[in-house]
């Protein structure tokens, strides 16, 4: 850039022409830098996992090549040897390939940031480049986006550093990743990420394709800010510092095309089924774009694809959206729908497969049922096994016979504990180490209850200890979010919960007061401070207090108390806490409020209504309640049938009678 500035006008023109002629470059990150696909990715890097019987990295490379990328740098870290081998064998490394692939491996990459810093250090990119992950499946034509990006950079001198490609898809769409649920604020006119202007748009209908067009500055910025780990860090950093540094990020929104990143198994499932349903055209299973021998298959209606030498038993049905690899044999009376079956698989009789993803060399015995599960290379499923939803059988696992795996079971040849052992070097792909630990795990016996009598494998449990990278869960299938709870988190709702927490706090306070023998004055102090903390009115405090105290016996001894037991335990409590009550019940209105709280509670606990009169009596004796208030409450407080019913209680009637007489007497005495 600096050299260009010094040149004369003529030189400028030629350099621009040179720029145009420079080949389009891409940076492909063939590592996810997380463990979402463990234990599957323990044996095979994610980029090489087959999707529609083709390794995922091939889709990415095909996408890049079709958009005109001429030079791709593939960065690998985890199991880099395998990726390298795969690529060297593939068509990308043939001399005729229009896209020159350079493979760069290092064990030291731990994030996207490291990769881009290396790009900068090695000075690999000379111009705008496409940044993409090795697990992106897409057919979006980004040339338009590229053009816009270049135009923007020409118009206002390198202000725009990145153009992110988004696809329109409404919320809840299958190919949207639940964990990657982006909400974007953009300037609708300039297509810029922004919130500052007078008018902007908040969009929730965009799907992040994880394809970005970056300026060379991006790599430099990653070097300058060594704390940037992910692209999100970068985007956030740019937006926060926009006013200072003047860098901007733009979006490119496309309506058609397909783009998704396989970031968890849920996404794997949906992308795979989209692939079979031909949404990623022209990347379809029968296209054999990897140009490998024997990968070809035929496409017939209902999206049924068959590879070479597939044999299908009598009475077997391939309903729809089925892809079967070469040399696979299927027994009789099978029912297969929405599934992908790899090469060299054998499937027995009476097998039901629905949304199953079976990779290569899998053996399925008869009478097996598989629903929405992944079965990796070399796995064996014995007779009469049932895999419920979201099961995963990792490499070489044997299951069965006669077993039903519960939903979400993950079985692997790796013992879960071994992961913790090599926790320190999680990203080191040291084959030796893996082999070593395999030896160790072999000593541990398989549990037949988990994997069946002839089974081989361990139930894999995702370790929850790496919370440091703020991953929500390390679950293979991704978060299963309940369809929007549509929380009515309006103020009322939150207030209600506040009341609830306040009630719990009061209960706790009283409980502690009883246990530690705290003086009532201090209890009052504590409740008062709670009142301020939760912003509760005095009236509510009193009602909640009454409720807590009256429910206390139930709280402590369960709800099955008889009325006698209830009053037995409650009355002493009332005596203990009477100073607390007296503190809150002072005015006439307070008395009535307290009484209505009592009434409300006993209306709920209608089996204990007889206890009510005892409670009232006690409260009267303790001088918590005044007789006038009780009489007034009795005569006027009835508002509905139930409370009228309550007042017909004999004991209560007597009590009131007695009160009235007592009042008369006292008034007589007064005279």
Partner 1 sequence: MGTSILLVNKPVDVLQKKMELQAVLMAAGGGSRMMDLTYNTRKPLLPVGNKPLIWYPINLLERVGFEEVIVITTKEVQKMISTDPKMKLDVKMKLDIVCIQEDAHMGTADALRHIQQKIKTDILVVSCDLITDAALHEVVDLFRAHNATLSMLMSKAHEFTETVPGQKGKKKTGEQRDFVGVDGTGKRLLFMANEADLDKGLVIRKSNMRKHPRMHIKTGLVDAHLYCLKKSVVDFLADNRSVSSIRGELVPYIVRKQFSKSMTSPNVNDEADQKLKKKDGNANVEIKILSRDEALLQLTRERSCWNDHRGDMSEAYHGGRLRCYVHIMDEGMCYRVNMLAAYIEANRLAPKLFDEPAVHPSAAISVRCLIGADSIIGASCQISDKASIKRSMIGASTTVREKVKVTNSIIMHGVTIEEGCNIQGSVICSNTVIGRGADIKYCLVGSAQRIEPEGEHTTAYYCLTLPSHTQVPLTSTLSGNSRVAKIQ
Cβ-based neighbours of 564, under 8 Å, separated by 6 or more: none
Question: Distance from CA of residue 163 to its chain's centroid?
Answer: 26
Strand 129-133 and strand 206-214: the pairing is antiparallel
CA angle 178, 180, 184 (to 5 degrees): 120
- Contacting partner 1 within 202-241 (CB under 8 A): 202-205
In the complex, minimum distance from the CB of residue 207 to partner 1, in angstroms, rounded to a whole number: 11
* Residue (198 or 470) nearer to partner 1, CB: 198
Cβ-based neighbours of 357, under 8 Å, separated by 6 or more: 268, 269, 272, 339, 340, 373, 374, 375
* Residue (106 or 170) nearer to partner 1, CB: 170
Buried b (16+ CB within 10 A) or exposed e, 471-494: eeebbbbbeeeeeeeeeeeeeeee
Tell me how far CA of residue 47 lies from CA of 60, 110, 115, 435, in angstroms. 9, 16, 16, 21
* Residue (514 or 638) nearer to partner 1, CB: 638
- Interface with partner 1 (CB under 8 A), residue from 227, 424, 470, 484: 484
In the complex, minimum distance from the CB of residue 485 to partner 1, in angstroms, rounded to a whole number: 8
- Contacting partner 1 within 530-569 (CB under 8 A): none
Reading the block at residue 494, the tokens are 């939150």
* Residue (11 or 172) nearer to partner 1, CB: 172
Q: Give CA–CA dist 112/403, Å, rounded.
A: 42
Q: Is 642 in the site for partner 1 (CB under 8 A)?
A: no
What's the full length of the chain, in residues? 671
Question: Distance from CA of residue 37 to its chain's centroid?
Answer: 14
In the complex, minimum distance from the CB of residue 488 to partner 1, in angstroms, rounded to a whole number: 4
Q: Is 199 in the site for partner 1 (CB under 8 A)?
A: yes
Q: Is 470 in the site for partner 1 (CB under 8 A)?
A: no
3-state secondary structure of 84: helix
Segment interacting with partner 1, rule: CB under 8 A, options 193-201, 298-306, 564-572, 576-584:
193-201
Q: Give CA–CA dist 13/20, Å, rounded.
A: 11
Cβ atoms of 329 and 347 closer than 8 Å: yes
- Interface with partner 1 (CB under 8 A), residue from 486, 516, 668, 671: 486
**Any idea which residue has 């970031």 for tokens?**
263
* Residue (395 or 502) nearer to partner 1, CB: 502
* Residue (123 or 640) nearer to partner 1, CB: 640
* Residue (462 or 646) nearer to partner 1, CB: 646
* Residue (201 or 407) nearer to partner 1, CB: 201
* Residue (100 or 185) nearer to partner 1, CB: 185
* Residue (489 or 657) nearer to partner 1, CB: 489
Q: Is 516 in the site for partner 1 (CB under 8 A)?
A: no
Segment interacting with partner 1, rule: CB under 8 A, options 57-65, 231-239, 480-488, 585-593:
480-488
DSSP state at residue 365: -
- Contacting partner 1 within 369-388 (CB under 8 A): none
* Residue (402 or 645) nearer to partner 1, CB: 645
Q: Is 279 in the site for partner 1 (CB under 8 A)?
A: no
- Contacting partner 1 within 132-191 (CB under 8 A): 170-172, 183, 185, 188
> Which residues share a beta bridge with 213?
130, 163
Q: Give CA–CA dist 270/590, Å, rounded.
A: 62
3-state SS, 308-332, equals CCCEECCCCEECCCEEECCCCEECC
Q: Is 201 in the site for partner 1 (CB under 8 A)?
A: yes
3-state SS, 155-188, equals HCCCCEEEEEEEEECCCCCCCCCHHHCCCEEEEC
Q: Is 492 in the site for partner 1 (CB under 8 A)?
A: yes
Q: Give CA–CA dist 178/549, Å, rounded.
A: 45
In the complex, minimum distance from the CB of residue 209 to partner 1, in angstroms, rounded to a whole number: 17
Segment interacting with partner 1, rule: CB under 8 A, options 200-208, 421-429, 442-450, 508-516:
200-208
Cβ-based neighbours of 420, under 8 Å, separated by 6 or more: 463, 465
* Residue (204 or 436) nearer to partner 1, CB: 204
Q: Is 363 in the site for partner 1 (CB under 8 A)?
A: no
Q: Is 200 in the site for partner 1 (CB under 8 A)?
A: yes
Q: Give CA–CA dist 250/394, Å, rounded.
A: 41
- Strand 317-318: give its sheet, edge to edge: 317-318, 335-337, 352-354, 369-371, 385-387, 403-405
In the complex, minimum distance from the CB of residue 493 to partner 1, in angstroms, rounded to a whole number: 9
Segment interacting with partner 1, rule: CB under 8 A, options 80-88, 298-306, 481-489, 556-564:
481-489
Size of the site for partner 1 (CB under 8 A): 23
In the complex, minimum distance from the CB of residue 499 to partner 1, in angstroms, rounded to a whole number: 12
> Which residues share a beta bridge with 249?
162
DSSP state at residue 456: B
Segment interacting with partner 1, rule: CB under 8 A, options 101-109, 199-207, 391-399, 415-423:
199-207
3-state secondary structure of 45: coil
Would you tell me which residues interact with partner 1 (CB under 8 A)?
170-172, 183, 185, 188, 195, 198-205, 484-490, 492
């Amino acid at each position: 850039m600096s050299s260009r500035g010094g040149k004369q006008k003529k030189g400028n023109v030629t350099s621009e022409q040179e720029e145009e002629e420079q080949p389009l470059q891409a940076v492909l990150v063939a590592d996810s830098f997380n463990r979402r696909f463990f234990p599957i990715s323990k044996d095979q890097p994610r980029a090489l996992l087959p999707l529609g019987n083709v390794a995922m990295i091939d889709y990415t490379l095909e996408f890049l090549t079709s958009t005109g990328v001429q030079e791709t740098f593939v960065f690998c870290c985890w199991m880099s040897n395998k990726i390298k081998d795969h690529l060297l064998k593939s068509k990308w490394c043939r001399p005729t390939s229009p896209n020159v692939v350079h493979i760069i491996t290092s064990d030291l990459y731990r994030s996207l940031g490291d990769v881009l810093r290396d790009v900068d250090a090695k000075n690999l990119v000379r111009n705008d480049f496409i940044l993409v992950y090795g697990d992106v499946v897409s057919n979006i034509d980004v040339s338009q986006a590229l053009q816009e990006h270049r135009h923007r950079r020409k118009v206002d001198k390198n202000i725009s550093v990145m153009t992110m490609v988004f696809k329109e898809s409404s919320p809840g769409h299958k190919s949207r990743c639940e964990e990657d649920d982006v909400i974007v604020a953009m300037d609708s006119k300039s297509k810029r990420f922004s919130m500052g202007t007078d008018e902007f748009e908040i969009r929730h209908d965009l799907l992040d394709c994880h394809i970005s067009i970056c300026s060379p500055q991006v790599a430099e910025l990653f070097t300058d800010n060594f704390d940037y780990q992910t692209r999100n860090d970068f985007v956030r950093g740019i937006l926060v510092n926009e006013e200072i540094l003047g860098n901007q990020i733009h979006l490119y929104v496309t309506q058609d095309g397909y783009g998704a990143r396989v970031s968890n198994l849920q996404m794997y499932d949906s992308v795979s089924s989209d692939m079979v349903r031909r949404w990623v055209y022209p990347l379809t299973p029968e296209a054999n774009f990897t140009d490998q021998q024997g990968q070809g298959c035929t496409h017939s209606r209902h999206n049924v694809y068959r590879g070479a030498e597939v044999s299908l038993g009598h009475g077997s049905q391939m309903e729809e959206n089925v892809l079967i690899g070469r040399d696979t044999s299927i027994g009789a009376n099978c029912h297969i729908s929405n599934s992908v079956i790899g090469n060299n698989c054998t499937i027995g009789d009476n097998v039901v497969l629905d949304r199953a993803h079976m990779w290569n060399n899998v053996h399925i015995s008869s009478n097996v049922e598989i629903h929405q599960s992944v079965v990796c290379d070399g796995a064996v499923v014995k007779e009469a096994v049932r895999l419920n939803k979201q099961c995963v059988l990792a490499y070489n696992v044997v299951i069965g016979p006669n077993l039903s795996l519960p939903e979400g079971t993950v079985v692997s040849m790796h013992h879960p504990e071994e992961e913790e052992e090599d926790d320190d070097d999680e990203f080191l792909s040291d084959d030796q180490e893996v082999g070593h630990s395999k030896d160790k795990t072999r000593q541990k016996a398989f549990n037949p209850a988990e994997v069946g009598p002839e089974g081989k494998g361990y139930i894999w449990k995702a370790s929850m200890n790496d919370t440091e990278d703020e991953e929500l869960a390390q679950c293979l299938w991704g978060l299963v979010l309940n369809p929007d709870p549509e929380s009515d988190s309006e103020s009322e709702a939150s207030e209600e919960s506040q009341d609830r927490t306040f009630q719990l706090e009061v209960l706790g306070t009283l409980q502690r007061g009883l246990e530690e023998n705290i003086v009532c004055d201090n209890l009052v102090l504590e409740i008062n401070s709670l009142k301020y903390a939760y912003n509760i009115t005095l009236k509510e405090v009193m009602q909640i207090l009454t409720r807590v105290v009256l429910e206390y016996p139930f709280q402590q001894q369960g709800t099955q108390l008889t009325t006698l037991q209830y009053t037995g335990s409650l009355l002493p409590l009332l005596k203990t806490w009477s100073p607390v009550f007296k503190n809150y019940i002072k005015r006439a209105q307070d008395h009535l409020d307290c009484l209505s709280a009592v009434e409300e509670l006993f209306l709920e606990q209608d089996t204990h209504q007889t206890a009510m009169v005892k409670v009232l009596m006690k409260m009267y004796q303790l001088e918590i309640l005044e007789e006038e208030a009780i009489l007034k409450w009795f005569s006027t407080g009835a508002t509905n049938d139930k409370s009228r019913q309550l007042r017909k209680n004999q004991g209560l009637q007597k009590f009131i009678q007695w009160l009235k007489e007592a009042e008369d007497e006292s008034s007589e005495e007064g005279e």
